[in-house]
Amino acid sequence: MTRNKYFIKQLSIFSENKSGRLAAVAKVFEESKVNIHAFSIAEANSFGVVRAIVDKPELAFDAFSKQNYALQYTDVLGIKMNDVPGGLYHVANLLGSIGINIEYAYAFRTGTFGTLIVKVSSPEDAVEKILAAGLELVPATDYNF
Amino acid sequence: MFWNEKMETLRGKELQELQLKRLKETVARTQNIGFYQKMFAEAGIRPEDIKTLDDLSKIPFTKKADLRGGYPFGFLAVPMSRINRIHTTSGTTGKPTVVAYTKNDLNSWSELIARNLTMVGLREGDMFQNASNYSLFTGGLGFHYGAERIGCAVVPAGVGNTKRQIEMIQDFGVNAIHCTPSYAMHLTEVAEDMHANLDSLRIGVFGAEAWSENMRRDLENRLNIKAYDSYGMSELFGPGVAFECPEQDGLHIWHDCYIVEIIDPKTGEVLPAGEKGEMVVTPLVKEAMPLLRYRTGDITMLMEDDCPCGRGQKIARLFGRSDDMLTVRGINVFPSQIEHVLKNIPEVGDQFMVYIDRVNHLDEMTIDVEINKHLFSGELSDLARLQNKIGKALHETLTLRANVQLVEPGSLPRFEGKAKRVVDRRTI
Ligand SMILES: [Zn+2]
């Protein structure tokens, strides 16, 4: 079994933190007909990184590159959470107990369950540990087509 | 090897005595010029008051605008019958500045060029291609006669027709070329496209515009030459005033022919060696157009260390023009210093902008820096690290804290011609 079937391709796009920039980023997705599954923004005073999980990451990457954006693919993992109170606690608690260090995380809901997107320092190891701990990972093909 | 070993290595008491003798002669010559008669009268000094080299500081500065005011021949110290040649420099505003030469001036100038070219390894029998403007610009004829003086075969190629220039280097077996650094880059690119064989070329002499160490490495590697920086200005004869030796670490300025002072461009205070400021030059052997304490507008410093080649005190490669200087919280800052710091950080892109504001009576410098999209990792923490790294590097060089903002590639203005990267928003 290959572990990287769980590596979801996140787009990390450099963006200045000023009015109109978010709309500009969103417009590139819209124009390239790329659908966004999940989206978050991390800021450090004047600038930030827009993180997006999309259906066609390569298409989006090309569209942003053509418009001179600085962007990069980042491998992230999607952990299934029960869509009930305590769902996040259960996952977070387990991750802590098996020693997974999370650089950042954000969550969204699809259908009947929630997904916690996590960026970890070594995803290969993390996949193994997470599965061994009995958590369920979402295959990348569920998001990136 | 030296062209004129005695003069090139003259130092200490002997040098000072020669400088003083020539300074007195120069002061005497300036008294044929209305501008200097008036200057001395207004400053309350007489030519005979200049008894030591230190007395030079009693004389006010001469500025480029003063020369323009004398258009066309107001600064001649000799009758027109003794003038042998005239050049002009194009002013960015208004009338050009006229410079004139006696027979002795042309001889002195050629001798200086001969020293420079000998210093970087040109010899009798070498072939020298002068890809420089031969009209009113001093770079053409100046180098031409200097190279002839040492016995080179000179190819007066002039500017333009790059393909023909490259064919001549290849077919004639040219050993050295003189041109502007930007033209040298263009020539290199065309030569590469033509797959030309320029193996005979050993030496490149580049001047008349600023060029970086990166550009030097590039030219040296791609042309397989040694590239040397040449400094001069028409008011001081032309090119040849100062020149790099094979150490390629600063330029030797010829102390028997020029007295160099470095001043704070704002206050006029003379600065010690190792401190950056505007170079003020008093030429010592000019007959037709003697000048006293001429403000060059060029920013450099006198270097403190002796050169292994045995010649005199060097000046650093130019940092920029004094007109570009900013004073932020009392500290002199040149946009070229900021550019230099940023160019050495790979994660930084091509463009930057500097903004100066006054916030609560304090100067604030903000520098917008485009990131290099090819080295973007995707991680916010790396960006924060980069921001800190830039701030630290700038602080080390400028001794001033700047607020660094990372901006998107392509978001800053692009300039054609001279870049205006500084916006001073302070209101007094
Ligand atoms: Zn030297």
Q: Find the B251 Cα to ligand 1 centroid distance in Å.
A: 8
How confident is the model over B7-29, as a mean pLDDT? 98
Instruction: Quote the pLDDT of residue B295.
Output: 97
What's the one-letter identity of residue B192?
E
pLDDT at A44 over 90: no
Is A71 in Cβ contact with B378 (below 8 Å)?
yes
How confident is the model over A12-27, as a mean pLDDT? 92
How confident is the model over B282-300, as a mean pLDDT? 97
Instruction: Quote the pLDDT of residue B380.
Output: 94
Is B373 in Cβ contact with A69 (below 8 Å)?
yes
Q: How much of chain A, in percent, has pLDDT values that exceed 90?
A: 74
pLDDT at B95 over 80: no
Interchain CB contact of A12 with B (< 8 Å) = yes
Rounded to whole angstroms, how far apart are CA atoms B20 and B52?
A: 6
How confident is the model over B297-311, as a mean pLDDT? 95
Domain ranges of chain B: 5-323, 331-424
Rounded to the nearest integer, the mean pLDDT of chain B is 94
What's the burial of B197, exposed, middle or buried (CB within 10 Å: 0-12/13-18/19+)? exposed
Instruction: Quote the pLDDT of residue B5.
Output: 97
Interchain CB contact of A141 with B (< 8 Å) = no
- Asked if the bond preceding A123 is cis, omega within 30° of 0, the reply is no
Name every chain B residue with its beta carbon within 8 A of the beta carbon of A47.
383, 405-407
Instruction: Quote the pLDDT of residue B428.
Output: 60
A59-63, B3-7, B93-97, B126-130: least confidently modelled range: B93-97
d(CA A124, nearest CA chain B) in Å: 19
Q: How much of chain B, in percent, has pLDDT values that exceed 70?
A: 98
Instruction: Quote the pLDDT of residue A45.
Output: 79
CATH 3.30.2130.10 domain span(s) along chain A: 8-74, 76-142
Rounded to the nearest integer, the mean pLDDT of chain A is 91
Q: Find the B291 Cα to ligand 1 centroid distance in Å.
A: 27
Name every chain B residue with its beta carbon within 8 A of the beta carbon of A42.
380
Q: How many CA atoms lie within 13 A of B152 on its CB side?
A: 29
Site from A7, A47, A74 to mutate, B interface, most B CB atoms within 10 angstroms: A47
Per-residue confidence at B94, pLDDT binned at 50, 70, 90?
low
Three-state DSSP string of B252-313: EECCCCEEEEEECCCCCCECCCCCCEEEEEEECCCCCCCCCCEEEEEEECECCCCCCCCCCC
Q: Which CATH code of 3.60.15.10, 3.30.2130.10, 3.40.50.300, 3.20.20.60 fits the domain covering A76-142?
A: 3.30.2130.10
Q: Is there a contact between B211 and B231 (Cβ–Cβ < 8 Å)?
A: no
Instruction: Quote the pLDDT of residue B213.
Output: 87
Per-residue confidence at B182, pLDDT binned at 50, 70, 90?
confident
How confident is the model over B294-301, as a mean pLDDT? 95
Q: Which two tokens stand for residue A15?
A: 């963006």
Site from A14, A102, A103 to mutate, B interface, most B CB atoms within 10 angstroms: A14
Q: How many CA atoms lie within 13 A of B96 on its CB side?
A: 12
Instruction: Quote the pLDDT of residue B104.
Output: 98
A8-74 sits in which CATH class? alpha beta
Per-residue confidence at B91, pLDDT binned at 50, 70, 90?
low
pLDDT at A12 over 90: yes
Instruction: Quote the pLDDT of residue A109.
Output: 85
Instruction: Quote the pLDDT of residue B92.
Output: 53
Q: Which of B378, B409, B410 sits opposite A49 (nearest CB)?
A: B378
The more confident residue out of B182 and B278 is B278
Per-residue confidence at B334, pLDDT binned at 50, 70, 90?
confident
How confident is the model over B183-205, as a mean pLDDT? 94
Residue B13, sorted as left (phi over 0), alpha (psi -120 to 50) or beta, turns out to be: alpha
- Domain B331-424 in CATH 3.40.190.10? The answer is no
B181-185, B194-198, B254-258: least confidently modelled range: B181-185
pLDDT at B172 over 60: yes
Instruction: Quote the pLDDT of residue B333.
Output: 87
How confident is the model over B105-119, as a mean pLDDT? 98
Residue B325, sorted as left (phi over 0), alpha (psi -120 to 50) or beta, turns out to be: beta
What's the one-letter identity of residue B92?
T
Distances (CA, A) of B157 to B129, B177, B224: 6, 10, 21
pLDDT at B78 over 90: yes
The more confident residue out of B388 and B92 is B388
pLDDT digits (tens, 9 = 90+) for A54-104: 999 999 999 999 999 999 999 999 999 988 889 899 999 999 999 998 999
How confident is the model over B278-283, as a mean pLDDT? 98
Q: Find the B10 Cα to ligand 1 centroid distance in Å.
A: 13
Q: Which residue has the tokens 């999980």?
A: A53
d(CA B210, nearest CA chain A) in Å: 30
pLDDT at B325 over 70: yes
Site from B367, B408, B411 to mutate, A interface, most A CB atoms within 10 angstroms: B408
B5-323 sits in which CATH class? alpha beta
The complex's ipTM works out to 0.89
Name every chain A residue with its beta carbon within 8 A of the beta carbon of B377.
72
d(CA B381, nearest CA chain A) in Å: 9
How many C-beta atoms lie closer than 10 Å to residue A65's C-beta? 12
pLDDT at A1 over 60: no
**Could you give the 3-state DSSP secondary structure of residue A49?**
strand
Q: Which residue has the tokens 């263009």?
A: B186
Interchain CB contact of A48 with B (< 8 Å) = yes
pLDDT digits (tens, 9 = 90+) for B363-419: 999 999 999 999 999 999 999 999 999 999 999 988 889 999 999 999 998 887 667
